[in-house]
Amino acid sequence: MRLTGLLALLLSGMISFSSAAASDIYKYRAADGTILFTDQPQDRVGSGHTLLSIRKGWNYQPRALSDAERDRYDTLITFAASQHRVDPALVKAVIHAESLFNPKAISRVGAQGLMQLMPETAAYLKVSNPFDARENILGGTRFLAYLKGKFSTLDHILAAYNAAEGNVRRYGGIPPYKETHAYDLQVKQLRHRYSSHFVAGLGDEKVVYASPIPQ
């Protein structure tokens, strides 16, 4: 398969992976104490950030997702979306891109669960157990709703989810990180694919659901 064809499949979600991207992840502390995770080295970030650590990238291991894996959380997703007025297809797309529907997923920078919440974000969202599917989806959807209130475009919302709200403000849009640009494209394509899985009322503002939330 040509590289261009493979790239198209990756971004569309037709092929999925059990590990995250191969870029090195740099951890910095800004002058105001904010922690920044990025794939950009020191000379690209600037002297105002102190390098704390570098996590080396690793290789993808491709695997196919079954329909059961993709659809097992649809009831939870629909409930959370209805509670926070977020498009359920977007929530499902984020889960797909972040964790491949693995509730026990842990990234190499410490993000946890289905929607890959960082510990600080989980604490802010009052998610006591990020590996519990219900808590994680409710918390992650609430975070998307928060970002939706801060940014007017989906590109900026997704960039903030992936690369932090402060970076979107700093660059006045999507930060110049390859990972973030690829993430934005992948989630939008996945959202389009999953849009037919849910019954929607008024765009992403009203969601109709039939099954009760599992306990």
In the chain, which residues fall in CATH 1.10.530.10?
Answer: 3-18+65-197
Give the CA diameter of the chain: 53
Neighbour-count burial for 32-63, b at 16+ CB within 10 Å, e otherwise: eeeebbbbbeeeebeeebeeeeeeeeeeeeee
Helical H runs in the chain? Answer: 3-12, 42-45, 67-71, 74-84, 88-99, 119-124, 133-150, 154-163, 165-171, 178-194
CATH of 3-18+65-197, one of 2.60.40.10, 1.10.530.10, 3.40.1110.10, 1.20.1250.20: 1.10.530.10
Of 114-118, 164-168, 185-189, 196-200, give the lowest mean pLDDT range.
Answer: 196-200
What pLDDT, in 10s, does the model give residues 107-132?
888 899 999 999 999 999 999 999 99
Band of the pLDDT at 32, cuts 50, 70, 90?
A: confident
* Number of alpha carbons in the 13 Å side-chain half-sphere of residue 117: 28
What pLDDT, in 10s, does the model give residues 56-101?
443 445 567 888 989 999 999 999 999 999 999 999 999 999 999 9
User: Annotated catalytic sites, by residue?
Assistant: 98
